[in-house]
Amino acid sequence: MKKNLNFVLITALILQGLTLFAQQKRLTLEDATWMNRALFPASVPQLQWIGDRDEYAYAKENAIYKVTAKKGTETLLLDLDMLNADFHRNGLDSVKRLPRLNFSERDKCSFSLGSKYYDYDLSTNKITLVNSLPDTAKNIDYHRESGKAAYTVKNNLFLAVDGKQTQITFDEDPDFVNGQTVSRVEFGITTGTFWSPGGSKLAFYRKDESQVTDYPLVNIDARVAEVENTKYPMAGMASEQVSLGVYDLQSGKTVFMQTDGPRDQYLTAVTWGPQGKYIYIALLNRDQNHLKINKYDAETGAFVKTLFEETDPKYVEPEHPLYFNPEKPDEFIWFSERDGYDHLYLYNSGGELIKQLTSGEWVVTEFLGYYGKDKIFFRSTKESPLQQNVYSLGLGDGKLTRITPGHGTHSALISKSGKFIIDIFSNTETSRQYNLLSDKGRLLRVIEADKKPLQDYKLGEMLLFDLRAPDGTTLYSRLIYPADFDKTKKYPVIVYVYGGPHAQLVTDSWLGGAGLFLNYLASEGFFVFTLDNRGSANRGRDFEQAIFRHCGSIEVEDQMVGVNYLKTLPYIDSTRIGVDGWSYGGFMTTSLMLKQPETFKVGVAGGPVIDWKYYEVMYGERYMDTPETNPEGYGESSLLNYADKLSGKLLLIHGTMDPTVVWQHSLLFLQKAISNGKQMDYFVYPGHGHGVRGKDRLHLNTKIADYFKTNL
């Protein structure tokens, strides 16, 4: 392998230029786990544009201020005393802190307290109760414009209007679930309900899980442990069957869209047309390689037409709705990877392609909306796969303007007129900063400067650089040096890995995308290395699809490119290489320990996928097909078939109530290791799901750190 040492970004010591005295502070495990308040990057609470005005609001010390974008004139809108005085006038109990206020106009906002929703007119001091929900309400979808709310109780859907509750669905069988997410949130949709423009109709998912296997999770809190079943459709087995209903609030009737086709197809990209007459649904077959964008009559449920179709020999992955143009309601924007990268395409409502809006060997990562006249804003990796910048694009003239200056990872809040942009960014030198920019990218003012929260801490040098895969593909990497690095010594290294789709670990952002825990490990005398292999996010279709039907093969090959580079460094002890990861990273950690036993001495794998046939349908079949159609791939990727290769120190960690990577995975591997006479370590977190959160997170980080300190 030829090593490419052209550094994409080289950041010097994070604390470069600080005094020797200030550098003596060390990260603790508590720092790394809890990020005490002093270690948080700068933040601006309740930052928002006010309606269609070029004015923004923000909160500071229990007060809300308004700022004019053009001149920067700042005015107090409201403080806690003023709010509580108005609460008293309107017969409400006082509060100890400001609720989240959503401004529709300079003097008008809305907020919620518990299950109650209010409108607040600051000019008249009037607070009006708009709606209220029962305490049992879940999956709440509040339509701010109309004040209506949809919610679920158990498996049925309800509606609240002016505090009056109406039940919409009446399924007594718990196998039929209404108004909740479907497809295990694998297609970018995180809700089960969809309000029409104006709020006169409500679309909702209904899923039939009667054919899906009940998977037992065991709750040990009761004196006699209780089984808590969850519906878990494993790859190749029966899946849920989804339909989409539309409830008309005026008539009180529900119709279901006539989504003909196999019952286990996926219904994604649910989008209302601007007038609320039609609803658009992306129908994706279970093989996930054939997509249809269909139009339906929301009044009758009748199929109107297929606008267009997309196919791919591997898979099509819709993750976005249709974005209709408010100025031209017969036009919409669609995300597609059809040319190899996620780009924007302009269509009319008849399904005719008007033009491709963006193109190039980079991806659009987020559509930010239509602003001003015939202009859109979006985020993309155009400058570098490590960066996220904000751009505007004229729909008529095609003029592309980069808004955000410098390098880094940017997001944006854009004024309704599109004339002003609040740029929220971080990069390798900046933890977080808020800037106000013009629509041409000119800096108008700094709203909140970088706090430099780690300036008093002694951290190691961090480098971002690229290497080359055997086929020449660029692989981006990050290396964190020990805080007390001495080039005459030899150090152990921990490879921190994820390696799967929808994740990118190496970025031009604060700490290079590494968290404080990885920097803590470096401060304890380890090199910490990370590489984004083929299969990970934001590099285009072919880069991600490289793992198709063979998870755990190319990823291991690419990770070894990084490891082999590390072995060339004179200060790396090649006999002391460890690896750590969770979820797909747990799968990769275990894969590397078993497939490269001569290289890796120690591994810690959390929530690991062990055999893909025990993983769920939607994700598993996209990347691996089914066990029946791809037996070779499933056999090749199953880590049960490599348990006899274990030679290093391996710790598997699992939450006993994990609903994502079920506990069975690591238990099966433990059983296989025992049957092969292989010693390994195993630890569970009772009651935890896919990850360890809350107060027990410190326990987890301590266990991981101690395992590497003891064994590496």
Catalytic site includes residue 688: no
Return the closest-CA partner of residue 293 out of 326, 270, 260: 270
Give 696's strand partners: none
Backbone angles phi, psi at 68, to 5 degrees: -80, 135
Distance CA 91, CA 667 (A): 57
Catalytic site includes residue 690: yes
Ranges of beta strands (E only) in 372-526 are 375-380, 389-394, 400-402, 409-414, 420-427, 430-438, 443-448, 462-468, 474-480, 491-496
In the DSSP assignment, the letter for residue 686 is T
Distance CA 38, CA 174 (A): 47
Distance CA 698, CA 688 (A): 14
Give 331's strand partners: 348
Distance CA 437, CA 443 (A): 5
**Which residue out of 143, 290, 690, 699 is catalytically annotated?**
690
* Backbone CA torsion sign across 621, 502, 422, 516: positive
Catalytic site includes residue 644: no
> What does the chain come to in residues?
712
**Which residue out of 31, 342, 450, 658 is catalytically annotated?**
658
The encoded tokens of residue 83 equal 């709010």
Judging by DSSP bridges, how do beta strands 241-248 and 253-256 pair with one another?
antiparallel
Distance CA 648, CA 679 (A): 9
**Which residue out of 426, 431, 536, 583 is catalytically annotated?**
583
The encoded tokens of residue 462 equal 């961090």
The DSSP result for 484-537, as a single string, is T--TTS-EEEEEE---STT-----SSGGGG--HHHHHHHHTT-EEEEE--TTSS
Distance CA 610, CA 124 (A): 62
The encoded tokens of residue 343 equal 């780009």
For residue 397, count CB atoms less than 10 angstroms from its CB and return exposed for 0-12, middle for 13-18, buried for 19 or more.
exposed
Q: Which residues contact 222 (CB under 8 A, 6 or more apart)?
A: none
Return the closest-CA partner of residue 448 out of 430, 469, 429, 470: 430
- DSSP-derived 3-state class of residue 56: strand
| Run of H or E including 416 | none
Supply the residues annotated as catalytic. 583, 658, 690
